[in-house]
Structure 1
Amino acid sequence: MSFSALGLSAPLLKAVAELNYTQPYPIQLQAIPAILQGKDVLGVARTGSGKTAGFVLPILERLKSKPASRNRHVNTLVLVPTRELAVQAAEVFKTLSAHLTHRVKTLAVYGGVSVNPQMMALSGAEILVATPGRLLDLISSKAVHLSEVETLVLDEADKMLHLGFEEEMNKILALMPARRQNILFSATMGSEVAAVVEKLLHNPVEIRIEEEAESLEQIKQVAYNVAPERKGPFLRYLIRQGNMQQVLIFVSSTRTADNLVDKLNKNGIVAAAMHSKKSQGARTEALSKFKSGKLPVLVATDLVSRGIDIQLLPYVINYDLPRSPKDYVHRIGRTGRAEAVGEAISLICPDDRHHFKIIQKKMGKRVEMLETDDIDLQGA
């Protein structure tokens, strides 16, 4: 089925075509018609499954013929857990609304930057993409009002609850009209998410997309046994030998990220770190340069990884293994997207071997393990 069969108008179909979207993802096939009908929606699907466009397109379709909201009274609220996701979702709204005759204004608001420019920019905004804390700041300053919200989207609900946003979310929900459309997307469906679903959604259309096994087929996975003291030099060897021009490296902590970037730069490999202790300006700049190809190596922690969405990322490296198998699948899923082949590499020290066996078992896929003792790392 094509996008034109989903009830979208010509301006939106033109924007979709310009992005080279040919066929809707499974979640889009089910979510777009349901949202257009005004139904509540529960979508459980991994990050990168196409769910952002799945709610953006029908929301824009419904807003394009509506009169503009009263100033500072937003029509649509999208709550997200991180700054990067706020920026990313707002960009999707802006890109897909490019050809609408009624230009729907979208604004992203988040902490870590001055609140005053965001307060001024709220004038005329119909769609607001926000992190909960910054939204409450703006509400307390009377810079924005939620009394006329018609559609609420909770994106990455599992991550928001994991990061402790439940109290803020409850305060925000209390400020909105009881009659509204609710859309909730989550990568997982734990007990905390289920409790929110029970409280928030009314007779929702439930969409569950199990794509992980299929999506991993596009990803070539390989692991290397490496001694801890050879880990840094071997990473540099891999980058140079593979002539890697765009590689995302995952580490377990902010300290490791900074130390690794320092070592890479000292050895002539241009790299930058992206983690929660970096300023918003530094994170935005690093991600922008990485996406455009001006920065070959980005080192990131799991906390910010959900904001990293690159269509044709060729390499992901697990410098440190994540705690859970689900996080491993999420990490390597940054590559191998849009039917492109990607490569995921894991560096396994002796202490990691048992945990990596568990990850492979949970994933249902064996990863080839290569030895590195005979590789000359002199000068790496």
Structure 2
Amino acid sequence: MSFLQLGLPQSILNILSKLNFSEAYPIQKEAIPVLLKKQDLLGIAKTGSGKTASYVLPILSNLQDSKEAKNRHAKALVLVPTRELAVQVEAVFKSFSIDLEKRIKTVAVFGGVAINPQMQALQGAEIVIATPGRLIELEEANAINISEIETLVLDEADKMLNLGFKDEMDQIFSRLPKKRQNLLFSATLSPEVQKVEKLLLHNPQIIKIDEDKDPLDLIQQLAYYVDDENKGPLLRHLIESKDMHQVLVFTASAKRADWVANKLRANGIDARPIHSKKSQGARMDLLTKFKYKHLRVLVSTDLLARGIDIEFLPYVINYELPRSPKDFVHRIGRTGRAENPGEALSLITPDEEHHFRVIQKKMKKWVTRVDGNEVLFKS
């Protein structure tokens, strides 16, 4: 369905046209008309389904006609589980609001970085994207007042609850005005999410986007069985021979991520490591460069298996396997998203063969096997 049919104002449609957005994803088609009417909504949709734009566009549209907010009294609050997601949601808001007639300031706040710059940035902010802990810190420091919030969004509510944010969320809910629009988005409708739904939502519109097929079907998987000493050379050969760009490589540790990235760079492939030992500023810089294709290869631990949100990421390579089959699915799920195919390659040494069989059994998919040593030495 075209965005032209969803009731968005012309100013938003003009921006969508400039950004070459024409057809709405299912979650956007269902959610946008509801949210423009300022109704509550429960949206169940997988990551990569286009849900962020489904609430960003109506919020920006509704704020175009609203009165100017008091300083430090935000009108829209988006709660997210991770710093990475906060930055990504902020980028979506900014990309869709850059040419609006009414200037709308959006700010993302999160822990792990200095609080003072965020306190200053909140001046004049109408839209705030926040992790729960940092929001409470800022409110207690009188840097933000949430008593006049008009729209509350819980994005990836299931992850926030799984990560233990329930107490912080309850504290935040108690400080919000009783009359407001509430939007709850989650990948799953777990019992915990249902409890939050009953607490927050009033006569909500419920939207559940069922995937027509297993999202793993969009991912072309290959497993390269290779001797341990040939794993590094094979990785470099695959990247070069397939002319890969925007490649996300997963390792099992920060130390190994550093080592793999250094080896790739030493062989002329632009690569950088990203993991929890990097500062938040460094991680954001690397993610931005990678997202906008200014960095060819990003080598990561499982820190990013859930955190990175790039709609058309073409390649994921498992240099080392994760311990959990579920983590393997999350890793390769960074590609093959939003109906776009992708490639996931796994480099399997003899010591990893048994574990990879377990992963395939749990995944209920058997991956095509390739002789990595032969591929390498035939080159």
- Residue in 1 that maps onto 2:105: 105
Give how far 1:7 is off: 1.0
Amino acid at match of 1:211: E
- Residue in 2 that maps onto 1:158: 158
Alpha-carbon RMSD across the aligned residues, in angstroms, is 2.5
What secondary structure is seen at the aligned counterpart in 1 of 2:213? Answer: helix
| Cα distance change, pair 331–200 in 1 and its aligned pair in 2 (3 A) | same
- Residue in 2 that maps onto 1:73: 73
* CA distance in 1: counterparts of 2:202 and 2:354, whole angstroms: 44
- When structure 1 is superposed on structure 2, of 170-179 and 146-155 the one drifting more is 170-179
Contact 2:234/2:376, CA 8 A, preserved across alignment: no
Amino acid at match of 1:45: A
| Cα distance change, pair 358–14 in 1 and its aligned pair in 2 (3 A) | farther
- Residue in 1 that maps onto 2:293: 293
Contact 2:221/2:345, CA 8 A, preserved across alignment: yes
What secondary structure is seen at the aligned counterpart in 2 of 1:317? Answer: strand
| Cα distance change, pair 24–113 in 1 and its aligned pair in 2 (3 A) | same
Amino acid at match of 1:235: L
What secondary structure is seen at the aligned counterpart in 2 of 1:33? Answer: helix
- When structure 1 is superposed on structure 2, of 322-331 and 248-257 the one drifting more is 322-331
* CA distance in 2: counterparts of 1:167 and 1:112, whole angstroms: 20
Amino acid at match of 1:103: R
Deviations 1:67-95 (A, max 9, x none): 01111111110011222211111111111
What secondary structure is seen at the aligned counterpart in 1 of 2:175? Answer: coil
What secondary structure is seen at the aligned counterpart in 1 of 2:48? Answer: coil
* CA distance in 2: counterparts of 1:376 and 1:2, whole angstroms: 47
Percent identity of the aligned residues? 57
Aligned residue pair count:
379
- When structure 1 is superposed on structure 2, of 93-102 and 339-348 the one drifting more is 339-348
| Cα distance change, pair 164–267 in 1 and its aligned pair in 2 (3 A) | farther
* CA distance in 2: counterparts of 1:125 and 1:85, whole angstroms: 19
* CA distance in 1: counterparts of 2:117 and 2:21, whole angstroms: 34
Structure 1 position 331 matched with structure 2 position 331: yes
- When structure 1 is superposed on structure 2, of 141-150 and 217-226 the one drifting more is 217-226
* CA distance in 2: counterparts of 1:100 and 1:155, whole angstroms: 24
| Cα distance change, pair 104–45 in 1 and its aligned pair in 2 (3 A) | same
Give how far 1:191 is off: 3.1
* CA distance in 1: counterparts of 2:19 and 2:338, whole angstroms: 12
- Residue in 2 that maps onto 1:257: 257
Extract unaligned runs of 5+ from structure 2: none
- When structure 1 is superposed on structure 2, of 63-72 and 191-200 the one drifting more is 191-200
Deviations 1:87-129 (A, max 9, x none): 1111111111223221111111112222112111111111001
Structure 1 position 119 matched with structure 2 position 109: no
Contact 1:47/1:306, CA 8 A, preserved across alignment: no
Amino acid at match of 1:284: M
* CA distance in 2: counterparts of 1:360 and 1:21, whole angstroms: 37
Contact 1:158/1:186, CA 8 A, preserved across alignment: yes
Give how far 1:288 is off: 2.1
Amino acid at match of 2:202: H
Amino acid at match of 2:13: L
* CA distance in 2: counterparts of 1:147 and 1:81, whole angstroms: 21
| Cα distance change, pair 159–302 in 1 and its aligned pair in 2 (3 A) | farther
| Cα distance change, pair 212–121 in 1 and its aligned pair in 2 (3 A) | farther
Counterparts of residues 127-276 of structure 1 (less than 5 Å): 127-211=127-211, 213=213, 215-276=215-276
- When structure 1 is superposed on structure 2, of 305-314 and 25-34 the one drifting more is 305-314
Give how far 1:247 is off: 0.6
| Cα distance change, pair 147–313 in 1 and its aligned pair in 2 (3 A) | same
Amino acid at match of 2:275: H
What secondary structure is seen at the aligned counterpart in 2 of 1:374? Answer: helix
* CA distance in 2: counterparts of 1:226 and 1:190, whole angstroms: 40
Extract unaligned runs of 5+ from structure 1: none
- When structure 1 is superposed on structure 2, of 99-108 and 160-169 the one drifting more is 160-169
Contact 2:317/2:346, CA 8 A, preserved across alignment: yes
| Cα distance change, pair 70–268 in 1 and its aligned pair in 2 (3 A) | same
Contact 2:27/2:49, CA 8 A, preserved across alignment: yes
* CA distance in 2: counterparts of 1:360 and 1:210, whole angstroms: 24
Contact 1:107/1:128, CA 8 A, preserved across alignment: yes
- Residue in 1 that maps onto 2:58: 58
Deviations 1:37-83 (A, max 9, x none): 22221222121110000010111111110001111111110011222
